Amino acid sequence: PERKTVGMIVRSGEFALNVLEMEYLDAVYLCGRISGKRVKNKFKKAGLTPINARKIGAPAIKEASAVLECEVWKTVEAGDHVLFLGEVIEAYASEKFDEIWRVDEFKPIFHVGGRKFAGVGGEILAKEGK
């Protein structure tokens, strides 16, 4: 937990969870791979645009399809990681979704570990109950 971001979250008690799509995979990987302690402006290096969040002091990312602004509820030490559990105090999505998630258009990134990421393959419907 020597990352700059960890220290910033601990000090401020808040964070923004920015949901980016597959087109930003390399930027997301770069942001997770390098520490802000070694790079003056990680957002700029990754080609992302920081913007003011609506209710917290931490920045949101303009390119995000969705943003969850959170206050830290609990911190959990997990080996060489720290998990921040947050209470969502503000949530919003890109205007392109027009009040509903369009899963046929939404391609979020999920980090599996290391260089491995996964995505969503589209809409899947469950069978209706009897």
β-strand partners of 52: 59
Burial of 2 (0-12, 13-18, 19+ CB in 10 A): exposed
**Is 81 domain-assigned?**
yes
pLDDT exceeds 70 at position 1: no
**Is 127 domain-assigned?**
no
Number of domains into which the chain is organized: 1
**Is 123 domain-assigned?**
no
pLDDT exceeds 60 at position 106: yes
**Is 109 domain-assigned?**
yes
Range of the domain at 26: 4-118
Record the pTM: 0.85
**Is 130 domain-assigned?**
no
Over residues 10-14, mean pLDDT: 96
**Is 124 domain-assigned?**
no
Each residue's pLDDT tens digit, 62-94: 999 999 999 999 999 988 889 999 999 999 998
**Is 70 domain-assigned?**
yes
**Alpha-carbon dihedral angle through residues 50, 104, 91, 70, given to the nearest 10 degrees:** -70
Query: Would you state the pLDDT for residue 125?
Result: 65
- Taking alpha carbons only, the member of 46, 77, 78 closest to residue 59 is 46
Nearest-angstrom CA–CA distance, 78 and 67: 25
Instruction: Look up the CATH number of the domain holding residue 61.
Output: 2.30.110.10
Q: How confident is the model at residue 61 (pLDDT cuts 50, 70, 90)?
A: very high
Q: Assess contact for 101 and 84: CB atoms under 8 A.
A: no
